[in-house]
Amino acid sequence: MHDLEPFWNWRHKYTSEEDDRSPFFGEEHSEIHYTQAVYDHLIHPQWDDFGSTTLYLKILFTEYDEGYAIIELIGEWNDLLHNDVMILKRNIVEHLMAQGISKFILIGENVLNFHTSDDEYYSEWFEETSDAGGWIALLNFRDHVVEDMQQANIDQYFLLGGRLNTLDWRTYEPDTLFEQVDALVMKRLG
């Protein structure tokens, strides 16, 4: 896991550490000191700690005029033991929503497991984004993670599966990726 870096190919366009509207503004990362871990597996120091002990993220791109953020995740999404969705909602999502973000693209190919609890924070996040004309799309989550979300009945709060789960997102520029995801979302919602 220590070799898995957040996607870096858009860093010339956006870095959350340099964005004064980002929850990670001013954050500094080491390239050589590995201090964060998911259980006993060290992770690359470029991942951002948002308060969870098993789930980390990187805000890859934020476009305030269009109202969207692209966020890559790594680790274990564990609501049962750590209430990760509450921490994500309170520490990241609410900050971004206060800045006008209502459309969230979550990239989950490095989310290894999902453990459910209740759906209170999912429902709250869904309602708040919907009221603002937004949505939450999940890209490339592992099949077993999607199945666990479906069994927990929280998939109703996300747009996921189908083309969203096979999108080769790294081949797009962020604005093109957003256009692709938005078109898929509008097709489903329409």
Delineate the domains of the chain, giving CATH numbers in brackets. 54-136+145-189 (3.30.750.24)
The pLDDT value given to residue 2: 57
For 50-76, b where at least 16 C-beta lie within 10 A, e where not — what string? bebbbbbbbbbbbbeebbbbbbbbbbb
Q: What is the pTM of this model?
A: 0.95
Residue 75's DSSP bridge partners are 55, 111
Q: What is the pLDDT along the chain (190 residues), one digit of tens a residue?
A: 556 888 999 999 999 999 999 999 999 887 777 778 888 888 888 999 999 999 999 999 999 999 999 999 999 999 999 899 999 999 999 999 999 999 999 999 999 999 999 899 999 999 999 999 999 999 999 999 999 999 999 999 999 988 999 999 999 999 999 999 999 999 887 7
Helix, coil or strand: residue 39: coil
Q: Tokens 């220590």 label which residue?
A: 2
